Structure 1
């Protein structure tokens, strides 16, 4: 059998190969930050909020384990949005500190860089990891198909409601990063989940590379410890918890030399004949 190889290998200095000293300082030197905003997202709901380029955003476990389905757009151009599939290829299927979330074509640039992740969950004996890019959001269409119920509080619907005040709609909601969610593939290549290992006080933190509109859904499946689909389905509401969001401005001294990344400079015409 051929030896597996990682397909997208960066050259030295590539945007995939981040400056760990710079982003490490941003994540570690927290005492000089200025907190700009703080709020809590209730259970089975969603919220959207801006994070400006150069700010740090932290998603916090304020009570018990809870999965957050995360979307991101360019605040000034929502056609540029998070691209889960390419991020998974460029980094890994479960992201952590120093990984980046990338935007879709034709923009293709880092939207944010992860600066801290307190959930210490390396790949386990089943090949599962935390902060999932393998799957996507739960939605009412699949819920109706599998459970036969009209349920308006799936993550997709939560995100639809969250972005409505920003003049976005259902078509703008896209594949997610499942923060605090543990997933993997079975030996017969099927997607599985495990209960979230996050505990009160844990957080997932990122640095905004561009002006962002961010949104999360507090997943109606809570910490994913209860079977919510199929014949043995039960209501997991007792495993649902709120999540906190905190936004910070780093000390200016930590930002020296940083610039917001430009969009891709590919200017070809895809081989199309044009007059």
Structure 2
């Protein structure tokens, strides 16, 4: 039975439990919104989806449909099964945090993906001792011919989605990225909510 659509509030985080074999559909509701994504083994939060282990496995910087992401124990955790977003995602950049915004000149507190992860987990009674590097769905970080990186606007249109199949019982967590200084969520486009649904 298909699940209900769940809101990832703008600038906030959300988490949910997912059984092996279920599919998580992440919807870029208004387009341009980056969704930082984490996955943890349900019965051991010290095992989690790892970008560095996944890149070594898929031999790509950007995963595509059919690619399986691995944990820090090199076990399958999520597989890309659908992508209508244009196929541009990021596995390189760390989650934003209070230190990042201070570096960008922000005085005082700024919403950030690191805090959103832990708030989302806490909402369902869980915690993680660390903040793994996220799978940044819809985030556009091109690698130029001179090997430098840049922060560019997403290409994901409104209503586009990515579907991920759970390869183990897991906890998935999201942050609707609150970045509003760089064009990470689109030029002149403030951070917005996104949605997800668990099917199967």
* TM norm structure 1: 0.66
Cα distance in 2 for residues equivalent to 1:41 and 1:154: 14
Matched, 1:136 2:99: no
Name the structure 2 match of 1:243: 194
Choose the corresponding residue for 1:200, options 150, 153, 158: 158
Cα distance in 2 for residues equivalent to 1:77 and 1:214: 13
Cα distance in 1 for residues equivalent to 2:85 and 2:5: 21
Cα distance in 2 for residues equivalent to 1:146 and 1:75: 35
Name the structure 1 match of 2:172: 214
SS at 1:183 equivalent: coil
Contact 2:16–2:172 (CA under 8 A) maintained in structure 1: yes
Cα distance in 2 for residues equivalent to 1:207 and 1:62: 20
Q: What does the per-residue CA deviation read over 1:80-128, in whole Å, with 9 as the maximum and x for residues that have no partner?
A: 11111111122111112111110113xx21001110001234xxxxxxx
Cα distance in 1 for residues equivalent to 2:55 and 2:151: 17
Contact 1:135–1:191 (CA under 8 A) maintained in structure 2: no
SS at 2:21 equivalent: coil
Consecutive unaligned residues of structure 1, counting only runs of 5 or more, are: 1-33, 122-129, 227-235, 250-275
Name the structure 2 match of 1:93: 61
Displacement after TM superposition at 1:188 (Å): 4.2
Cα distance in 2 for residues equivalent to 1:40 and 1:167: 19
The 5 A counterparts of 1:1-275 are 34-91=1-58, 92-105=60-73, 108-121=74-87, 130-165=88-123, 166-169=125-128, 171-221=129-179, 224=184, 225-226=186-187, 238-249=189-200
* TM norm structure 2: 0.90
Cα distance in 2 for residues equivalent to 1:220 and 1:181: 13
Cα distance in 2 for residues equivalent to 1:112 and 1:90: 13
Displacement after TM superposition at 1:189 (Å): 3.1
Displacement after TM superposition at 1:201 (Å): 1.6
Displacement after TM superposition at 1:134 (Å): 1.8
Alpha-carbon RMSD across the aligned residues, in angstroms, is 1.7
Q: RCO higher in 1 or 2 (8 Å CA, sep ≥ 6)?
A: 2
Cα distance in 1 for residues equivalent to 2:130 and 2:122: 10
Cα distance in 2 for residues equivalent to 1:183 and 1:78: 28
